[in-house]
Structure 1
């Protein structure tokens, strides 16, 4: 006989809804469904469920949130571990929210759901998922697929290049904001700006930027390059070649720079990611509002070292000082947060 069911609870709106605009989940409808009527096939979790994680969920006192099921196929989209935990508890039914999109959309939802909460997909699983999404949504940009699969957009680009037949011949892709843009938008924008400047030298930088869909600063750079007789497109920098020829680039002196280098070290970032995986598997954090908020805040800091470097390199020059100041203030908030937690640890010891 199954255990008595606690009242059905729900995940927060933000955890269940995709930010892609097509998720068709009725947030107000939760139904009890026979476990033996559900399918766990075609999951992005190709390694299957994690026994330890299932055991921790089954032992948790809190009621388990509803799982998400693809109504047309009755396939579990999100909640494989909760389903297994319900089986261990001896339950015959499980709380379900239904998704009514097509199978390709269901797979995308499954991938995004399993990188935003619960036990995260492994890197191999995320790469495998990205390959499938490239096939089913070739019009999506690398950044859009990366945001769904939880990997770097450069990794998506490499997967796309290695796909049979190479990259698709489309001239535009859909970005995360839903807008369709040319694939070579930077090249096209600079080319158009150079033509406008040549044909209409009296145009202001803002007029050029607006017409070419680039920033005024880029328009200024194009104009300056044309005045110097240079190509409007900057040559790609070969950072690795420069470092190999001239030796490793020198880091700024001072403890702050040394500390930053440590924080962005690959091994350190990987260690933080491993800790986050354990925290995300803890039911005490997963199934409370404050716990989920804390996990979302901490997840930000599991970006790869390469990801941090890319962000640093691409902060616009005119806001670098402001961003640095704000980042330092945020660091101060985390420092105070850590001190107060450590104080509580000492008090309870």
Structure 2
């Protein structure tokens, strides 16, 4: 059987929207609370609160019944036993006189069960209409105001600007969230200034907090957390004199090249003998015969990343892990920079 794909609205088709694969973090979260396939009695299942205006289409039921392919399992919200995805498949099984059907149970929240239902029905099977997707988007915005317009757009196969207009027109129906979760799963403040001020509070309360901790507490990126910390160190206001452009505020990404993110504390000529210097430290009795010294040597050896090793490791990082590896590398580089400045000999 050939599955139909759900067409996006006109603005999405124009290329202003991204692919639904951008919400991989949400799909991964849903997958973790989906069970393995099991056989379940049809009599135990209930009709779900469907995003469709007409829950069943007789023509689509006939099409599925005539298919010679094995139909995928239906998805059922375990706490309510409501069918999230597969209403037509359930009808086919019932009309064929079967007493059971293949099921995957969803153990997440009921509000996320509805979002999953919408997302599934925009990717396969009988397409949702534009009106149905718009109604579903309004409902998801009400239940999950913290999800960004882009996340809701990816779930409902609408254009981001369409979802933005729905949020704006919803008024009091949609609670105002201080932060939004983007397509990449990262949390960002709606008000860029509030995130920076919160980061400044975290730093003042705990000067030794890592960039990742500051970013998590303030709902900003590690890059922004680092900028706030550097401003405070210089005695400056945590807010820049000019607010970021809408694109910068949305993406929260650095505009400077990565090489400038962690300034060198050593001239290039002194970096060429790193292996020789490490060998010298390894044989130094002051480090070899003390527990802290041995710990330092192990960490230094583990962080000895030659150009050859780096070139081998970079392509081996899976695409879905690259953002996490990227942020960890930046945070570790920042930690090492601070350590280097603290142990640097006085002139």
**TM-score in terms of structure 1 length:** 0.48
**TM-score in terms of structure 2 length:** 0.48
Bigger RCO of structures 1 and 2 (CA < 8 A, at least 6 apart):
2
Quick check: which has more Rg, 1 or 2?
2
